[in-house]
């Protein structure tokens, strides 16, 4: 199998007809879709099964009773897809233009140093489907960029799409519609998975981008491929009950710092990193102290794991 597509869905049946139609229209056909119902309940489970049965696509359907999160769900599917040469992560609240897979895959095929490719991701206005299918010219992501304070963000998010995009290297790609080289994913993971499952959701794609760079791989924005995504910070579908997205974002960024930020980076970037982290610490301590307390408690509980990961990454860099 040349390409495996991985799709998680949690009560996302309303979007699936649009995604499936866009997959039917892809000019590249040598793929199979691996679909995970990520802990949905009735009537959503039956609706997801019905959408899969009516799609007419080559789909293998799986279900888990408990939501595994974005990271854990894709790692679950990767156990089924790792024999493929490439894997693409597909969002249930997104769709792609007909040449998306062809153009992203063609770039990876001709650039062996590149591990990850992603097209131009624009916002999908699901509430106005009558207007060109909800397509907009507002950027969802043009790849990931790292700031001097070690915050990592989606390039151009929420802004009008600039002039025609070129195909160019970026720091990393987001978890929305990326296409990865499987051998690079395995080489850049201590446990041969796509994502670190301890992240559950939020910034797991940042951790992967950092690991791929540590292994010496590049990431690319393919400026001629286009996809559309219905994004909302408070609408993520892979959260544990009673868990706030902001908390996971805060905690996972702390874990990124502990695992990836080298001492020399802290020395050279201390003017930006340390004040930024202090301000963020004070902000959450005043606004929601439970965030800080829980994040540090979970960090203490996972300290050995984080330090082992840090050591593994140090060894990975030395092998380059």
The pTM of this model reads 0.92
**What local confidence, expressed as pLDDT, does residue 59 receive?**
97
Taking Cα atoms as reference points, which of 14, 17, 77 lies closest to residue 43? 14
pLDDT lower than 50: segments of the chain: 233-242
Classify strands 135-141 and 114-124 as parallel, antiparallel or unpaired: antiparallel
Q: For 3-235, which CATH class?
A: alpha beta
Q: CA 89, CA 220: separation in Å to the nearest integer?
A: 16
DSSP category for residue 237: S
Q: Which residues have C-beta within 8 Å of that of residue 138, sequence separation ≥ 6?
A: 122, 123, 158, 159, 160, 161
Q: Residues, the chain, total?
A: 320
How much is the pLDDT for 171?
Answer: 96
Q: What is the pLDDT of residue 136?
A: 97
* pLDDT, position 267: 55
Count the neighbouring beta carbons within 10 Å of the beta carbon of residue 218.
18
User: 2: Cβ–Cβ under 8 A, 6 or more apart, which residues?
Assistant: 30, 31, 84, 85, 86
d(CA 291, CA 294): 5
Give the list of residues 6+ apart from residue 204 with CB closer than 8 angstroms, or none. Answer: 70, 71, 175, 195, 196, 252
User: pLDDT at position 163, please?
Assistant: 84
Q: How far is CA 271 from the centre of its chain?
A: 29
CATH 3.90.550.10: which residues of the chain? 3-235
- Residue of 175, 162, 159, 211 whose CA lies nearest to 8: 175
Within the chain, residue ranges assigned H as helices are 16-24, 44-55, 69-81, 100-110, 182-187, 204-214, 245-260, 263-287, 289-301, 303-318
The reported pLDDT for the residue numbered 319 is 78
Rounded Cα distance, 31 and 303, in Å: 40
Question: pLDDT tens for residues 124-163?
Answer: 999 999 999 999 999 999 999 988 888 889 999 999 999 8
Q: Tell me the backbone φ, ψ of residue 96, rounded to 5 degrees.
A: -130, 155
Task: Tally helices (H) and strands (E) across the chain.
Answer: 10, 12
| Residue 70 in tokens | 């974005």
């Amino acid at each position: 199998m040349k390409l495996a597509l991985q799709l998680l869905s949690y009560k996302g049946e309303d979007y699936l007809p649009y995604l499936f139609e866009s997959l039917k229209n892809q000019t590249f056909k040598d793929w199979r879709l691996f679909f995970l119902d990520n802990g949905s309940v009735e009537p959503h489970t039956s609706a997801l099964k019905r959408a899969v049965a009516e799609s007419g696509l080559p789909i293998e359907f799986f279900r888990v009773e408990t939501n595994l999160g974005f990271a854990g769900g894709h790692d679950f599917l990767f156990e089924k897809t790792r024999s493929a040469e490439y894997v693409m992560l597909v969002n249930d609240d997104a769709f792609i233009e007909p040449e998306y897979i062809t153009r992203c895959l063609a770039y990876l095929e001709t650039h062996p140093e590149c591990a990850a490719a992603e097209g131009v991701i624009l916002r999908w206005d699901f509430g106005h489907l009558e207007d060109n299918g909800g397509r907009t010219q507002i950027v969802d992501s043009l790849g990931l960029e790292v700031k001097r304070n070690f915050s990592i963000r989606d390039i151009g998010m929420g802004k009008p799409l600039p002039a025609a995009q070129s195909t160019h290297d970026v720091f990393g790609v987001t978890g929305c519609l990326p296409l990865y080289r499987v051998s690079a994913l395995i080489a850049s993971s201590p446990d041969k998975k796509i994502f670190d499952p301890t992240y559950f959701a939020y910034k797991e794609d940042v951790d992967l981008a950092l690991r791929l760079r540590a292994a010496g791989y590049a990431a690319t924005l393919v400026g001629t491929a286009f996809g559309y995504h219905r994004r909302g910070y408070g609408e993520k579908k892979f959260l544990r009950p009673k868990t706030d997205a902001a908390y996971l974002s805060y905690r996972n960024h702390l874990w990124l710092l502990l695992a990836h930020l080298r001492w020399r980076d802290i020395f050279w970037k201390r003017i930006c990193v340390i004040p930024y982290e202090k301000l963020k610490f004070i902000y959450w301590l005043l606004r929601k102290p439970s965030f800080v307390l829980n994040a540090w408690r979970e960090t203490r509980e996972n300290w050995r794991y984080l330090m082992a990961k840090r050591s593994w990454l140090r060894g990975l860099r030395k092998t380059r």
